Amino acid sequence: MTDVLDQTGLQQRRHLVTEIPGPRSQELMARRQATVSAGVGTTLPVFITRAGGGVLEDVDGNTLIDLGSGIAVTSVGNAAPRVVEAVQAQVADFTHTCFMVTPYEGYVAVCEALAELTPGDHAKKSALFNSGSEAVENAVKIARHATGRQAVVVFDHAYHGRTNLTMALTAKNMPYKHRFGPFAGEVYRVPMSYPFRDGLSGPDAAVRAISQIEVQVGAGNTAAVLIEPLQGEGGFIEPAPGFLTAISEWCTANGVVFIADEIQSGFCRTGAWFGVDAEGVVPDLVTTAKGMAGGLPLAAVTGRAEIMDAVHPGGLGGTYGGNPVACAAALGAIETMRAEDLVGAARGIGEVMLPRLRTLAERFPAIGDVRGRGAMIAVELVRPGTTEPDAALTGAVAKACHARGVVVLTAGSYGNVLRFLPPLVIGRDLLEEALDVIEEAFAEVTGS
Ligand SMILES: Cc1ncc(COP(=O)(O)O)c(C=O)c1O
């Protein structure tokens, strides 16, 4: 396997030449601690020099297997050739004009691609922003403006960002909200479908959520229902079949804007272009970011033309939203997704990972649930035979993976979910090796 190179020329192998983190990374970490706010966390303190395919190379010469994709961003691979080429060409031509001052074609081309790729064949329009949080904020602004209503309904375990409005929309207190209030008003939280914990069918879970909205908020006051079709930071919670359909139908019947937050689940990640595709649901608005632009900051709100156009000119925008370099990157990334069939690649990753993880669950009873779709896969860890979350074990397994050179992330309201988000271009051998390492990590940590 040592001679396998990705398109960036980086050897596709796990190869550790120092302890993790190595001495150079430790030196840089000391500099980081002296100058970077302690409020900015670090999952794994290795400093990266190059990355591509399924590996990250660090300053000490170690190469690690990447099962995080920079939190679901580098779906097309790091420094993906089409992205690099498009960015280099754009950056040499011009870097910024502000689309609201003098426009350029790349922004329009990204909006055309979004209209084509997002679910539904109705007329669609988009507005571009810099981050996922900003896209979500704007989706709420648009829905409120279009409906003349104020209430926004969100779900347990939701994650929508860290800005003031999105903190209110996000469920978990630590670390996202703690001591950062007061939060924005007119945000209402209802129960999510969480099959592992509530045992409800999708339609039954939807009845529970809808009756709460009707009793506590009132359909006529509700501007939008905002939902991640497959929840991300909350623990890769996949609602039971029928849940999304029932919620979206209720929205349509009540003039409520159904917003799908596809920032983590979108752009091939789940083995479909978008997470809602699993149920054939067509949202009124879709928020996207992360995987869309191959690592450059770009986000979008896309939706029904009449809703997107309800806002007065000048009501949406920002200095950098839809920056030309980020737009070029997105066009390169989308071309890569199409040319390399990354929808199929994501499915293939799920087909490798899910059976292996299910076998692991038989060996290690702390694995209470194995779930996810495509390349958005997780295991939830509990005290054996119960649903009591085991965050300590989750952290220990993640650490043992890191020490062996495999980057994994944790998630979940209870901190007890190990989540896997490999780049969709990761090689099969590397993926299998990462799964071997995960198994070793479980064996070491559980002593079995
Ligand atoms: C579903 C979802 N929405 C919104 C966000 C916020 O995106 P950003 O970190 O780009 O602001 C995230 C980020 O993890 C996310 O997963």
Q: Is 357 in the pocket of ligand 1 (CB under 6 A)?
A: no
Instruction: Please name which of 272, 295, 231 lies closest in space to residue 117, comparing C-alpha atoms.
Output: 272
Mean pLDDT, residues 71-80 taken together: 97
Mean pLDDT, residues 143-159 taken together: 98
Task: State residue 8's pLDDT score.
Answer: 72
Task: State residue 4's pLDDT score.
Answer: 77
Q: Ligand 1: which atom is nearest the Cα of residue 287? A: 3
Q: How many CB atoms are closer than 10 A to CB 167?
A: 20
| pLDDT higher than 70, residue 3 | no
Among protein residues, the one whose CA lies closest to atom 10 of ligand 1: 132
Q: What is the pLDDT of residues 200-218, one digit of tens each?
A: 999 999 999 999 999 999 9
Please give the distance, rounded to the nearest whole angstrom, from the Cα atom of residue 5 to the centre of ligand 1. 31
Work out the mean pLDDT of the chain and round it to a whole number: 97
Task: State residue 9's pLDDT score.
Answer: 81
* Cross-strand partners of 128: 300
**Rounded CA separation 275/302 (Å):** 15
Q: Is 68 in the pocket of ligand 1 (CB under 6 A)?
A: no
Q: pLDDT band for 374, please (50, 70, 90 cuts).
A: very high
Instruction: Please name which of 307, 262, 306, 258 lies closest in space to residue 118, comparing C-alpha atoms.
Output: 262
Q: Is 261 in the pocket of ligand 1 (CB under 6 A)?
A: yes
| pLDDT higher than 50, residue 303 | yes
Q: What percent of the chain has pLDDT over 90?
A: 98
Q: pLDDT band for 1, please (50, 70, 90 cuts).
A: very low
Among protein residues, the one whose CA lies closest to atom 7 of ligand 1: 132
Task: State residue 92's pLDDT score.
Answer: 98
**Rounded CA separation 66/45 (Å):** 14
Are 336 and 76 spatial neighbours (Cβ–Cβ below 8 Å)? yes
Testing ligand 1's pocket by substitution, the residue of 226, 237, 263, 276 carrying the most ligand atoms inside 8 A of its CB is: 263
Q: Which tokens go with 275?
A: 């997470």
Instruction: Tell me the C-alpha to C-alpha distance, in Å, between residue 279 and each of 97, 229, 248, 269, 342.
Output: 40, 10, 11, 15, 20
DSSP 8-state symbol, 265: T
Q: Is 348 in the pocket of ligand 1 (CB under 6 A)?
A: no
| pLDDT higher than 60, residue 2 | no
Q: What is the pLDDT of residues 390-431, one digit of tens each?
A: 999 999 999 999 999 999 999 999 999 999 999 999 999 999
Domains observed in the chain: 23-66+341-446 (3.90.1150.10), 81-339 (3.40.640.10)
Q: Is 289 in the pocket of ligand 1 (CB under 6 A)?
A: yes
Q: What is the pLDDT of residues 306-354, one digit of tens each?
A: 999 999 999 999 999 999 999 999 999 999 999 999 999 999 999 999 9
Composition of the chain by helix, strand, coil, percent to 5: 40, 15, 45
DSSP 137-200: HHHHHHHHHHHS--EEEEETT----SSHHHHHH----TTTTTT--PPPSSEEEEPPP-HHHH--
For residue 16, give the 3-state DSSP assignment: coil
**Rounded CA separation 307/211 (Å):** 26
DSSP 8-state symbol, 345: H
Q: What is the pLDDT of residues 5-51, one digit of tens each?
A: 777 789 999 999 999 999 999 999 999 999 999 999 999 999 999 99
* Cross-strand partners of 39: none
Mean pLDDT, residues 259-265 taken together: 98
**CB-based burial, 304-319: b 16+ in 10 Å, e otherwise:** beebbebbeeeebbee
